[in-house]
Amino acid sequence: MQEAVHIDELDRAIVAALQLNGRAPWSLVARLVGASESTVVRRAALLGESGLLRVIGVVDVLRCGLGVPVLSRFRCRPGTTYDVAACIAERPQARFVAVVSGSADCVAEFVVPTHAEIGRVMVADVPGGDRVTESETHAVMRTFVSNHDWNPGVLGERATAELRDSAEQPFEDRFPQSPSERLDELEHAIVQALGEDGRMSYKALAQAVGASESTAKRRVESLVRRGCLRFRTLAEPEVLGYAVEFMLWLEVEPGLLERAGQQLAAHPATRYLSATTGRFNLVGQVALRHYGDLFPYLTDDVGSLPGLRAADVTLQLTTLKRAWVPTPAARTENPAS
């Protein structure tokens, strides 16, 4: 977090409201956080200018047949980790990149056109070149919960329900195994424009894509209803009061993978969770408020998962990219590795 920006409880409440519903009207956000609409708009603008808050539209690549997500772990030569992570973050296929500690030095999520492309990205053209001493890649088979759906627990139950009720249900709950959708030229233009500004008005969107305002609104609603478009609030967990973020790599008995995934997905600390191929078949991203919460989380919550064979944790030290967007940390000079 940038030290020059002081985050207070009102800021945190505004970010939490947008995490629950990225396109919630400012009037609704203002009422639920107990401030005037002008104050909320001003605070959100300041957070946006500082790089601490941004709402974007995100196309669901699996739903739309636009690619296959894969999660990769890298071990690097001493002193090269941040250089390798920066190299990975420059790749257009990289959707998420973080420097971590533990059994890996950095982790990344790539979106590749097909499974066959994994070999080209991770073998023939390894990001970081010979500075990478070891890597392994896990293809995502099923997503239990994603960052779009995370409830940071900042707002009360009534406010949370009101914001959630005015947003679409999680993609994973509505389209578990449906055929892929195909976007037309106008829809591609719409998701590209919303990828820059997810709170863009329908009037501005219509001007950007060369359509009428009613057409733009109708197409956005269709994309969301079909599970093609989600709205993602980009804010570092520490803005919401979470001091620890980490990747969780689990090996679970195949016959109990669904049960374990559902149980862990329901935990309030789980930001993301998917079933994957490879040595670890259940991979998650988790945020905790305090470092002291890590031990009981691992012993009680992870330890109680059915069919658990092995667990590995990589603490996120610096996150360089989320949802294809560079983070505030990526726009400052990298620390020495």
Q: What is the pLDDT of residue 178?
A: 64
Q: What is the pLDDT of residue 336?
A: 45
Q: What is the pLDDT of residue 5?
A: 66
Q: What is the pLDDT of residue 38?
A: 98
CB 106 within 8 Å of CB 85: yes
Place of tokens 């946006």: 48
Q: What is the pLDDT of residue 2?
A: 42
DSSP-assigned letters across all residues of 163-198: HHHTSPPPHHHH-SSPPPP---HHHHHHHHHHHH-T
Q: How distant is the alpha carbon of residue 3 from its chain centre?
A: 23
Q: Mark the ranges of the chain whose per-residue pLDDT is less than 50.
A: 1-3, 171-174, 333-337
By CB neighbour count within 10 A (0-12 exposed, 13-18 middle, 19+ buried), where does 23 fall? middle
DSSP-assigned letters across all residues of 107-119: EEEEEESSTTHHH
H helix or E strand, kind and range, residue 222:
helix 213-225
Q: Which of 103, 14, 22 is nearest to 58 (CA)?
A: 22
Tokens of 238: 């520490």
Place of tokens 């973050």: 89
The C-alpha R_g of the chain, in whole angstroms, comes to 20
Q: What is the pLDDT of residue 332?
A: 64
Q: Tell me the one-letter amino acid at 72.
A: S
For the stretch 187-246, pLDDT in tens is 999 999 999 999 999 999 999 999 999 999 999 999 998 889 999 999 999 999 999 999
What phi and psi, each to the nearest 5 degrees, are found at residue 319?
A: -100, 125
Cα separation values, 102 from 45, 99, 169, 314, Å: 37, 10, 35, 5
Q: Tell me the one-letter amino acid at 13.
A: A
